Amino acid sequence: MQRMGVFGAGSIGMYLGGCLQAAGATVVYVGRPSMAQTLQAHGLRLTDYLGRDHHLDAAALNFSTTADALADCDVVLVTVKSAATAAAAAVLAAHLRPGTLVISFQNGVRNAEVLRTAMPAQTVLAGMVPFNVLNCGDGRFHQGSAGVLDVAADAGLAGCAALFARAGLPLSQQADMRAVLWGKLLLNLNNAINALSGVPLKAELSQRAYRRCLSLAQREALGLYAQAGITPMQLTALPPRWLARLLTVPDWLFQRLAQRMLAMDPLARSSMWEDLEAGRRTEVDWIQGEVVQLAAELGAIAPVSACLVALIREAEQAGAARQAWSGDELLARLRAASA
């Protein structure tokens, strides 16, 4: 059995690592001291929207706050926030043995490149987590939506693919992870909208005004993709351009046509909302910010994404006093920005 490691043991890291450990793997978690304290007090509980409920006792968890604990791992999952990727790469390069398989399960499109540049002795693969995981407190991490893990195809995955499958986390190996990541970015454009709304994802996506905000952001990004020659992978039942149109239909029709998209836990929220709640820096620069950067590279502008970046920055500064935007208010603001 391969020895697994998780670097950045937050919501995604604890959930993935916990599922692997529940399936029989030896897992080493590396994260913040605050997480260590929580796990020591409560253990680790894994739940999902389909009824999974598994508890790992605190004594069974190998948790460390330093990367040297990962020195003997065969596979390391990197789940730190995107802002910490460069620092994580430097630390991991100093501690992982040559040949270690490293998988970036992070938001954004460039994190694996950053890791790979700093870690030439290791095999670094891009990965993508399509589902939402919410930190419910007291050591409980809840998967609120569906999806299969995507990862760049590589022969080195042969030793761990069966383990991921037993853990309920089957790996879909992709020949073109660039297309996958740009496709996921389109869906992740909703993270900021959900964070600004202050309501759960299902409630937000059930309201036409919020969906129109997402449609504006997606259409803007798709126009830039076309200029840049980027073809995003289709990650939903509809191609990206059709999905952007579907988002604008009346609520009754959307609920009828997009049942799979709404098949999520009623309490699920975006990771960006969770970051705002915790007073942490968000990943908006690696989501909407990627669209703004792409526009700049093309000599163009991305006013919708730029506006969402600015609104999230305001929310970060306001903390608990931040505004909860109604769908109509946010839509009016984005339309004004793009006029």
Q: pLDDT tens-digit profile of 235-265? A: 988 999 999 999 999 999 999 988 888 888 8
Structure tokens at 115: 């890791």
Cα separation, 210 vs 312, in Å, equals 16
Q: Please write the tens of the pLDDT for every residue from 281-299.
A: 999 999 999 999 999 999 9
pLDDT of residue 265: 86
Q: How many CB atoms lie within 10 A of CB 186?
A: 23
Q: Say if residues 28 and 69 touch (Cβ distance below 8 Å).
A: yes
- The answer to whether the CB of 232 falls within 8 A of the CB of 17 is no
Q: Which two tokens stand for residue 146?
A: 């569906």
Residue ranges in 140-189 assigned as alpha helix (H): 161-166, 177-188
pLDDT of residue 262: 85
Instruction: Give the contacts of 336 (CB within 8 A, at least 6 positions apart).
Output: none
- Retrieve residue 237's tokens: 């039942």
**Tens digit of each residue's pLDDT (9 = 90 or more) over 34-76:** 999 999 999 999 999 889 999 999 999 999 999 999 999 999 9
Q: Taking the model in full, what pTM does it have?
A: 0.93
pLDDT in tens, 194-240: 999 999 999 999 999 999 999 999 999 999 999 999 999 999 889 99
